[in-house]
Amino acid sequence: MQEWIINGLLAVVTLLALVLQAIGTKPSAGMTKKQKKMLWRILAASALLLVLQLLGTGVFAPLGAAGRWVRLVVYLVDYGIVGHDILRKAGKGIRNGRVFDENFLMAVATLGALALAVYENGDYLEAIAVMLFYQVGEWFQSYAVGKSRRNITELMDIRPDYANLEQDGKVERVDPDEVAVGTVILVQPGEKVPIDGVVTEGSSSLNTAALTGESLPREVKAGDEIISGCINMTGLLRVRTTKEFGESTVSKILDLVENATSRKSRSEDFISRFAQIYTPAVCYAALALAVLPPLVRLFLLGLDAGWEIWVYRALTFLVASCPCALVISVPLSFFAGIGGASKAGVLVKGSNYLETLSKTRVVVFDKTGTLTQGVFEVNGIHHNEMDDARLVEYAALAESASSHPISKSLQRAYGREIDRSRVTDVQEISGNGVTAKVDGIPVAVGNDKLMDRLGVTYIPCHSVGTILHIAIKGKYAGHIVISDRIKPHSKQAIEALRAAGVQKIVMLTGDADKVARQVAETLGVDQVYSQLLPADKVDKVEALLADNAGSNAKLAFVGDGINDAPVLGRADIGIAMGAMGSDAAIEAADVVLMDDDPLQISKAIKISRKCLGIVYQNITFAIGIKLLCLVLVAFGVANMWLAVFADVGVMILAVLNAIRALFVKNL
Amino acid sequence: MKKTYKIEVDCANCANLMENAARKTTGVQNATVNFMTQKMIVEFEEGNQPESVMANVQKACKKVEPDCEIYL
């Protein structure tokens, strides 16, 4: 019965190797040379083993006494085909002082089993099969990891290879590094934008998925800013570069992605320390298992020592103990988690931050630019008798000389080119507003104080924001409310954070109390602190950290990267939003959200939870099965076959589970 | 000075081992191995020639992971 199962297994492995080899000839399969070579070795070894099995030991009988040794040589050749690299690596490891690793375990276990078989002139099959299945497991692991790694890097492949320069009507490809600031480059449909710049000619849709994870294309036309790393989808664009390649968004992001993961998480440290203690420990345990019970039987119980049984058990114990599943899958989970996060537009600087992020219970927001747009807009026009558009026109023209953000927002609301010649007699009254003549008509635009000063009765406003009263020809003409707009997803983002288990949400702002309270109420924030200077924000975060001290809960600070660097550094984890172009944010933050969307924060937390969940699953699952196997083996319930299947099976399951951390789309 | 090298390594743990080995090499200020992008970023201490330091880094990496490859 067992014979049939074994033959069947060998046949399956042989067939599988053949099929995979055929698949491997196609370049799309993405098999490396090393993997193909290993596959040939597996194929040859399993086929030879199958032939030997089918022929049976009978074929060697006619050779007489020499038959035993011929048979041994044939099996040794087979062993060599499949396992020579493991033996070599184990030898190298011993020479380099790294004795106890998985190669050593496998080499000792299989060589020991072979020696035992030679001594008994018994079954060589087992030792070779252990090596064979171990290699099959390693191969699958390497292939699965390589394939998913390539999938993710292809998605993140935003490095532009060249820039197109137009010279004498001819297009020339040059290294983006050599393009000077202010040069006009050509971006054809299907090409990546190599350098940040401004579109001078043409219009097109851009695919920004690789940068922001946002699948909706972005439309650009002449005059728009364009960031490198986007893919030009439809039209030909001429772009005047505003930065050098090294300073462009794409370079900064690549730098960030490639530099990530240098900081190790506690789980990874735990595993590497665990492996350092565990492997020598099981080796000594195996030695004790081989030596102690026979000695006890021999001297204390007066029984037959039964060396073969105990040595066999000890060797099986070594096979079962191999810690590959843990050692391989835990770092892989973190790599996959960070890779999956960057695919979603969340750049995490190291696996320790992924770990901290998963424990976030308090989120502190900076208001401007994070929960709100950070761009002032005309939000309301009240008590006016003339057309809204006309009122805005007067106000915009009167304020046209000013470079204040308020004036900019009026100009944006006006939407047309300002004709400065229509404005005369501009008088700026500091802290009050502006008076001017527009088309010869006297216009006054300003706050309450200006109206009082001019003796115009005005109607106070209940809305929150900056109120601009307007008087035309000395008569009150209404007021315009200018305020910062809450981002469309802010409220949803706060709700999503609560759903993700965040217990406290705090908002800090330098803005006026009234504005801060209104935003906090709309969004449902727990606590709000207003009129803070940058240094006050650090104090507040420190106070919140002190409240939290001692508990496992972590505090995250979310800012837009402008003036936030000290706070980002002080919090347990600093999250910067809208990283495009803000160097300070990329430097100071631990997590960078490529998008301005606050919803990404809860997504980042969910990704980290999933990744950490997988890590813990793998740790408990692998250690649990290992311990169970070791106990079974020590009591002689399990043989070497079971041990190798447990080992390879756990490894493959753990690796597949780890790769799951890559898939973050539906979180 | 900082330089980026393309590498080839099969498992995430081996990448970590290489990183540690590279960091311990003399002349290396800091080293990061990114398994996902298969890159090694080495920051050299001042006054060291990257070529000679990298030869040692390669040797050290081969010791911990015979299967790895660094393209200099």
* Confidence category of residue A582, pLDDT binned at 50, 70, 90: low
| Cβ contact A578:A560 at 8 Å | yes
Candidates A366, A484, A511, A647; catalytic one: A366
Tell me which chain A residue has its CA closest to the CA of residue B37. Answer: A153
Annotation marks residue A366 as catalytic: yes
**What are the tens digits of pLDDT across the range A79-107?**
999 989 889 888 888 887 777 778 888 89
A122 vs A109: CA distance, rounded Å: 16
Chain A residues with beta carbon closer than 8 angstroms to that of B10 = 34, 142, 145-146
Which range (A8-17, A52-61, A351-360, A498-507) has the least confidence?
A: A52-61
Chain A residues with beta carbon closer than 8 angstroms to that of B13 = 272, 327-328, 330-332
A79 vs A73: CA distance, rounded Å: 10
* Residue A319, C-beta contacts closer than 8 angstroms, at least 6 positions apart: A105, A106, A109, A130, A640, A643, A644, A647
A107 vs A113: CA distance, rounded Å: 10
* Residue A597, C-beta contacts closer than 8 angstroms, at least 6 positions apart: A487, A489, A493
A335 closest CB neighbour out of B4, B10, B35: B35
Chain B residues with beta carbon closer than 8 angstroms to that of A92 = 63, 66
With CB atoms and an 8 Å threshold, state whether B11 touches A152.
no
- A:566-595 residues touching chain B, CB 8 A cutoff: none
This prediction has a pTM of 0.79
| Cβ contact A507:A528 at 8 Å | yes
With CB atoms and an 8 Å threshold, state whether B36 touches A142.
no
Chain B residues with beta carbon closer than 8 angstroms to that of A259 = 32, 34, 41
Based on its alpha-carbon atoms, the radius of gyration of chain A, rounded to whole angstroms, reads 35
**What are the tens digits of pLDDT across the range A433-489?**
888 888 888 898 888 888 888 888 888 877 777 788 898 888 888 888 888 778 888
* Confidence category of residue A562, pLDDT binned at 50, 70, 90: low
Q: Name the average pLDDT for chain A.
A: 84
| Segment B31-58 mean pLDDT | 86
A156 vs A138: CA distance, rounded Å: 27
Q: Does A276 touch chain B (CB under 8 A)?
A: no
With CB atoms and an 8 Å threshold, state whether B39 touches A331.
no
| pLDDT score of A213 | 65
Query: Closest Cα to residue B57, out of B16, B27, B15, B14?
Result: B27
| pLDDT score of A561 | 64
Tell me which chain A residue has its CA closest to the CA of residue B18. Answer: A262
Highest mean pLDDT: which range of A22-36, A38-52, B4-18: A38-52
> Taking the mean position of all CA atoms in its chain, how far away is CA A132?
35
With CB atoms and an 8 Å threshold, state whether B10 touches A145.
yes
B15 vs A96: CA distance, rounded Å: 18
| pLDDT score of A657 | 92
Q: Does B15 touch chain A (CB under 8 A)?
A: yes
**What are the tens digits of pLDDT across the range A305-346?**
778 888 888 888 888 888 878 888 888 888 888 888 888 888
- A:95-114 residues touching chain B, CB 8 A cutoff: 96, 98
Fold observed for domain B2-71:
Alpha-Beta Plaits (3.30.70)
**Strand ordering across the sheet containing A346-348:** A346-348, A591-593, A573-577, A554-559, A360-366, A504-508, A527-529
B36 closest CB neighbour out of A264, A272, A335: A335
| pLDDT score of A556 | 92
Separation in Å, CA of B12 to nearest CA in chain A:
5
Residue B68 per-residue DSSP state: -
| Cβ contact A649:A628 at 8 Å | no
Domain positions in chain B = 2-71
Tell me which chain B residue has its CA closest to the CA of residue A258. Answer: B34
| pLDDT score of A341 | 87
Chain A residues with beta carbon closer than 8 angstroms to that of B41 = 258-259
**What are the tens digits of pLDDT across the range A243-283?**
888 888 788 777 777 666 556 778 888 887 887 788 888 88
3-state secondary structure string across A552-612: CCEEEEEECCCCCHHHHHHCCEEEEECCCCCHHHHHHCCEEECCCCCHHHHHHHHHHHHHH
**What are the tens digits of pLDDT across the range A499-541?**
988 999 999 887 778 788 888 888 889 999 988 877 888 888 8
A577 vs A559: CA distance, rounded Å: 6
| pLDDT score of A362 | 92
Q: Over pLDDT 70: what percentage of chain A?
A: 95
With CB atoms and an 8 Å threshold, state whether B66 touches A260.
no
Q: Over pLDDT 90: what percentage of chain A?
A: 10
| Cβ contact A203:A222 at 8 Å | yes
